[in-house]
Structure 1
Amino acid sequence: MTTKRITLIAVLAAIGVIGRIYMQFIPSVQPVTAIIIISSYYLGAGSAMLLAILTTYLSNMVLGMGFWTIWQIVAWVSIAGFASLFGKLSVRRAFPILLCLGIGAGFFYGFIFSLLNYVVSGKFIAYYLAGLPFDVNHAIGNAIFIFLLYKPLSYIFKKNL
Structure 2
Amino acid sequence: MNVSVKKLTLLSMLIALSVVGRIMFTFIPNVQPTTSIIIIASLFLGPLYGFVLAAFSAILSNMVMGMGLWTVGQIIAWGLIGLISGFLGRYRERIPVIMFVAYSVFCGFLYGFVISVPQYAVSGLSNKFLAYYLAGLPFDLSHAIGNGVFFLILYPVLRLLFLKKFKGTM
- TM over 0.5, shorter chain: yes
Q: TM-score, normalised by structure 1?
A: 0.96
- SS of the residue 1:62 aligns to: helix
1:98 is displaced (CA, Å) by 1.6
For the 8 Å contact 2:43–2:86, the answer to whether it is kept is: yes
Structure 1 distance, partners of 2:32, 2:52, is 18
For the 8 Å contact 2:70–2:119, the answer to whether it is kept is: no
Aligned residues with identical type, % of pairs: 45
Number of paired residues?
A: 161
Distance 1:7 1:94, change over 3 A: farther
| 1:32-51 → structure 2 map (5 Å cutoff) | 32-51=34-53
Runs of 4+ in 1 over 6 A off after TM superposition: none
Which residue pairs with 1:75 in the alignment? 77
Instruction: Give the unaligned 5+ runs of structure 1.
Output: none
- Residue 143 (str. 1) matches residue 145 (str. 2): no
1:90 is displaced (CA, Å) by 5.4
For the 8 Å contact 1:56–1:73, the answer to whether it is kept is: yes
Which residue pairs with 1:13 in the alignment? 15
Matched AA of 1:153: L
134, 142, 146: which one pairs with 2:139?
Answer: 134
Structure 2 distance, partners of 1:4, 1:44, is 15
Between 32-41 and 81-90, the greater mean CA deviation after superposition: 81-90
Matched AA of 2:136: G
1:154 is displaced (CA, Å) by 0.3
Computed over aligned residues only, the root mean square deviation of the Cα atoms, in angstroms, reads: 1.2
For the 8 Å contact 2:77–2:111, the answer to whether it is kept is: yes
- Residue 152 (str. 1) matches residue 157 (str. 2): yes
| 1:19-98 → structure 2 map (5 Å cutoff) | 19-89=21-91, 91-98=93-100
For the 8 Å contact 2:51–2:79, the answer to whether it is kept is: yes
104, 107, 113: which one pairs with 2:106?
Answer: 104
Instruction: Give the unaligned 5+ runs of structure 2.
Output: none
Structure 2 distance, partners of 1:90, 1:131, is 31
Q: 1:86-132: CA deviations, max 9, x gaps?
A: 11125334422221111110001110122123311233111111100
Distance 1:94 1:47, change over 3 A: farther
- SS of the residue 1:10 aligns to: helix
Structure 2 distance, partners of 1:50, 1:117, is 22
Structure 2 distance, partners of 1:113, 1:50, is 18
Structure 2 distance, partners of 1:25, 1:102, is 21
Q: TM-score, normalised by structure 2?
A: 0.91
For the 8 Å contact 1:34–1:142, the answer to whether it is kept is: yes
